[in-house]
Amino acid sequence: MSAPDDFPGKRPSFVSTQVSEARRYYLDLSAKPGPGVVVVCGGCERMRPDYRVQRSTFPFLAVEFVAEGEGTLELAGHRYALRPGMAFAYGPGAAHVIRNEPKRPMLKYYIDFAGADAERLLGESALRGWRAVQVSSPPEVVEIFELLQREGASQSRYGARLCAELLPVLLTKITERAVAGGASAPRALATYQRAKQWMEKHYLEVKTVEAVAAACHVELAYLCRLFRRFAHTTPYQFLLRLRLNRATELLLDGGLMVKEVAEQLDFADAFHFSRTFKRVYGLAPEQFLRRNRVWIEG
């Protein structure tokens, strides 16, 4: 990260100077209300220990995301504890106060935007009504912000268009991974993330969700509640997806027959594997292979 700013000469008055490091991009600082989606600017900032922003309004719509550190947020009559994985939105008429925890300075991503379609997208997202939410998979949100950073700072003739296309993706991802609040959220989220990471590492070895629960030292019923809450699925479906994704790799890149893939992934038989594959992907393995050959050969 550069310090303190990639483009200090272009920094508008609403961008904070209370940062120790920053990567920023500027696309259309003169954006006016109108149709479509217009990304104004965005970036990633490391807060100084004394960071404090207090605004009664803001000229554009904005989404911020905490990647590291801690702080507090006062927004729309609510107070939130900011921690990694927290996303929030504000805009014209939305008074807000953002404070840093001096001993744990925040690293935040942000994007400012305008346009009627952008306003509609925000109103359909988990951030509607100027609220803050915790997301269950912060790295997924960071990845999209980094794509925005890359395209916004690219100086490409397509940079602004690409950022406008990525904004709905960002809002959808935040909505998909939004977690209901509550005092138990941080601990429960940490347990879910630990179980998810364990499954991603050991899915080829483990055969049942009961074994997953035992390995992660949680009750099976609690594991199921965690996945319904944070991933909107079941641990069984998550485990099955991991195994079937591996199956597609073996079919396409490993050159294995359907029967061999079924055996390698410990399905009861080729028929059970094919039936499961079709239920999840909508195609039998043989159809999947034929269609892939058509795509490759044109």
For residue 9, name the pLDDT band (cuts at 50, 70, 90). low
For residue 185, name the pLDDT band (cuts at 50, 70, 90). low
178 vs 20, 50, 144, 213, CA distance in Å? 29, 29, 15, 24
Which CATH number is correct for 8-179, 3.20.19.10, 2.60.120.280, 3.40.50.1580, 1.20.120.160?
2.60.120.280
Report the distance separating Cα 213 and Cα 227, nearest Å.
12
For residue 182, name the pLDDT band (cuts at 50, 70, 90). very low
Q: What is the pLDDT of residue 183?
A: 43
Class of residue 162 by CB neighbours under 10 A (exposed 0-12, middle 13-18, buried 19+): middle
Phi, psi of 3 (to 5 degrees): -140, 130
Q: Which of 259, 100, 83, 269 is nearest to 187 (CA)?
A: 83
Q: Which residue has the higher pLDDT, 297 or 215?
A: 215
Q: How many CB atoms lie within 10 A of CB 22?
A: 22
Run of H or E residues at 26: strand 19-26
Run of H or E residues at 141: helix 138-152
Burial 251-261 (b: 16+ CB within 10 A, else e): beeeebebeeb
Distance of alpha carbon 207 from its chain centroid, rounded? 29
92 vs 56, 77, 185, CA distance in Å? 9, 15, 30
Radius of gyration of the chain (CA): 23
Q: What percent of the chain has pLDDT over 90?
A: 73
For residue 252, name the pLDDT band (cuts at 50, 70, 90). confident
Q: What is the pLDDT of residue 35?
A: 82
Q: Where do the domains of the chain lie? A: 8-179, 185-297
Q: State which fold the 185-297 domain adopts.
A: Arc Repressor Mutant, subunit A (1.10.10)
Q: Which of 111-120, 177-186, 244-253, 282-291 has the lowest mean pLDDT?
A: 177-186
Report the distance separating Cα 93 and Cα 2, nearest Å.
32
Q: What is the pLDDT of residue 5?
A: 52
Phi, psi of 102 (to 5 degrees): -55, -35
Q: Which of 15-24, 38-47, 206-215 has the lowest mean pLDDT?
A: 15-24
Q: What pTM was computed for the model?
A: 0.76
What's the average model confidence in pLDDT over 76-87? 93
SS3 136: coil
CB of 231 closer than 8 Å to CB of 200 = no
Q: How many CB atoms lie within 10 A of CB 113?
A: 28
Phi, psi of 21 (to 5 degrees): -145, 150
Q: Which residue has the higher pLDDT, 221 or 231?
A: 221
89 vs 75, 111, 133, 175, CA distance in Å? 9, 10, 9, 12
Assess whether pLDDT exceeds 50 at residue 93. yes
Q: What is the pLDDT of residue 68?
A: 96
For 118-140, what is each residue's pLDDT tens digit? 999 999 999 999 999 999 889 99
Assess whether pLDDT exceeds 70 at residue 145. yes
| Residue 170 Rama label (left phi>0; alpha psi -120 to 50; beta) | alpha
Q: What is the mean pLDDT of the chain?
A: 89
Assess whether pLDDT exceeds 80 at residue 211. yes
Q: Which amino acid is at 105?
A: P
| Residue 186 Rama label (left phi>0; alpha psi -120 to 50; beta) | alpha
